[in-house]
Amino acid sequence: VIPDIGLTVTASNVKGDNGTSAVQILVQIRPEHLGFVEKDGRKKGAIEVAVFCADDKERLLGESWNTVDIEMTPDAFAKFQTSGLRYTGKVPVKAAARFIKVVVYDPGADVLGSTVFKIDPPKVKK
């Protein structure tokens, strides 16, 4: 776990859009160490978000890599400073995942955050 960028993760196994397995993920990213530049009266920046989903033996089942461009008005930036940034998505996986690793990198500020989230095993109906 790398704490430069504060992260809170929730995740669950779900069905994907075409009925296949997926992991629904929500990452709350704290704003304290993210870097922004002022351009044309707006705050601009970008983060890279990588999500890795693994089984109970930590074998990779699926992954996602995304760059998120951020551009805010001064009012939106003021709100962002208190609420942070929410990143959501679905990651296709080969089977139900048990571990999720999230890595967030801000190239503008050269800071990194990572965390691991454990998903409870599916309930077996008796």
What confidence tens digit (pLDDT) does each residue in 90-100 have?
Answer: 999 999 999 99
What confidence tens digit (pLDDT) does each residue in 12-26 have?
Answer: 999 877 889 999 999
* Max Cα-Cα span within the chain: 61
> How would you classify the pairing of strands 60-72 and 42-54?
antiparallel
3-class SS string, 71-86: EECHHHHHHHHHHCEE
Strands of 7-15's sheet in order across: 7-15, 21-29, 85-92
What confidence tens digit (pLDDT) does each residue in 44-99 have?
Answer: 999 999 999 999 999 999 999 999 999 999 999 999 999 999 999 999 999 999 99
Query: What pLDDT is recorded for position 126?
Result: 57
Q: pTM for this structure?
A: 0.90
Fill in the DSSP letter of residue 44: E
- Return all residues near 77 (Cβ < 8 A) that are at least 6 apart: 36, 43
